[in-house]
Amino acid sequence: MIIQAPAKINLALDVLNKREDGYHNIDIVTLPLKLHDIIEIVEGRENTTTHLTSDDLSLACDETNLVYKAYRAVKKIYQFNSGFRIKIYKRIPTEAGLAGGSADAAAVINGLSKLKKLNITDQEKIEIGKTIGSDVPYCIFNKPCRIRGMGEQLSFIKVKKEYHVLIIKPEEGLSTGDVYKEADIIKGQRPDIENLIKGLEEGDDELIAKSMANALQKAAIHLVPRVKNLLDELKNEGLKMVMMSGSGSAIYALSNDKKKLEQLYKKYDAIDDVFPYLTKTTL
């Protein structure tokens, strides 16, 4: 079985409060992208071992990988005995704030449900996903969405149009945990989520640009100053819908002008310490 695992970008990320368990309650608006990893799942014989591999040799393919955790979580509940060969073909950059690992884990939950005919309900998938990571419940569905709580409260939203997207990932990545720790000290700008959703529903780019914000961005810039340089460069090009995604370190620009983004892609593709990607949002 071959499954696509789409990346995502956040157009708003608000950190509401720190919980007693050390995690944070969040309020996020997310759009799915055409940029995706590919997950291949091949079922083996009964009582055989599951093996995880990747074409990205830097990726840990052991029990710490979210894909392996997803497999173990589904197996524990549904008690099947099959082993699997699971291979991750990476296209989404790591430590970028694009939910690559979470997307892969969600694809495995969906894939095993279909392959083994488990008939897992949407709510059951959310319950499994939230034990693996806060982005996993969203990645099970890959629709424009407002996400609250610890990532398990999903409210799907209607978006009027798709956008071309230029993503630039600095060579230096960021750990989500490190960024949240820094954000507890360095408070960032809060988004206007209600107006952002209104802008997305109406296709009002000015309202979207005015309402976007990422409360983790200041903290991430403190850890990786290159993030601010790249954000400023894209804004100086006249792009208005520009922000860091998630906990970084990738930044992006949304635009209706595909040609302009293609020109910028070529520019950044010639620079050694960044990795550009061209993609689109999906509805």
Tens digit of pLDDT at every position of the chain (283 positions): 999 999 999 999 999 877 777 677 899 999 999 999 999 999 998 888 999 999 999 999 999 999 999 999 999 999 998 899 999 999 999 999 999 999 999 999 999 999 999 999 999 999 999 999 999 999 999 999 999 998 999 999 999 999 999 999 999 999 999 999 999 899 899 999 999 999 999 999 999 999 999 999 999 999 999 999 999 999 999 999 999 999 999 999 999 999 999 999 999 999 999 999 999 999 9
- Residue type at position 213: A
Reduced to 3 states, what is the DSSP secondary structure of residue 7? strand
Of 123, 79, 129, nearest to 102 by C-alpha is 129
**CATH number for the segment(s) 164-280:** 3.30.70.890
For residue 22, the model assigns a pLDDT of 67
For residue 20, the model assigns a pLDDT of 72
Q: DSSP labels for 180-234?
A: HHHHTTS--PPP-HHHHHHHHHHT-HHHHHHH-EETTHHHHHHH-THHHHHHHHH
**CATH number for the segment(s) 2-156:** 3.30.230.10
Which ranges constitute the DSSP H helices of the chain?
66-78, 100-115, 122-130, 136-139, 176-183, 193-202, 205-211, 217-223, 226-236, 258-269
For residue 29, the model assigns a pLDDT of 98
Residue 161 burial by Cβ neighbours in a 10 Å radius (0-12, 13-18, 19+): exposed
Neighbouring C-alpha atoms within 13 Å toward the C-beta of 186: 15
For residue 7, the model assigns a pLDDT of 98
For residue 18, the model assigns a pLDDT of 74
The pTM assigned to this predicted structure is 0.94
- Residue type at position 125: K
Residue ranges of the chain assigned to CATH 3.30.230.10: 2-156
- Residue type at position 155: S
Residue ranges of the chain assigned to CATH 3.30.70.890: 164-280
149: enclosing H helix or E strand: strand 145-149
Neighbouring C-alpha atoms within 13 Å toward the C-beta of 102: 28
For residue 45, the model assigns a pLDDT of 86
If one counts every other C-beta atom within 10 angstroms of the C-beta of residue 6, the result is 21
Residue positions annotated with a catalytic role: 8, 135
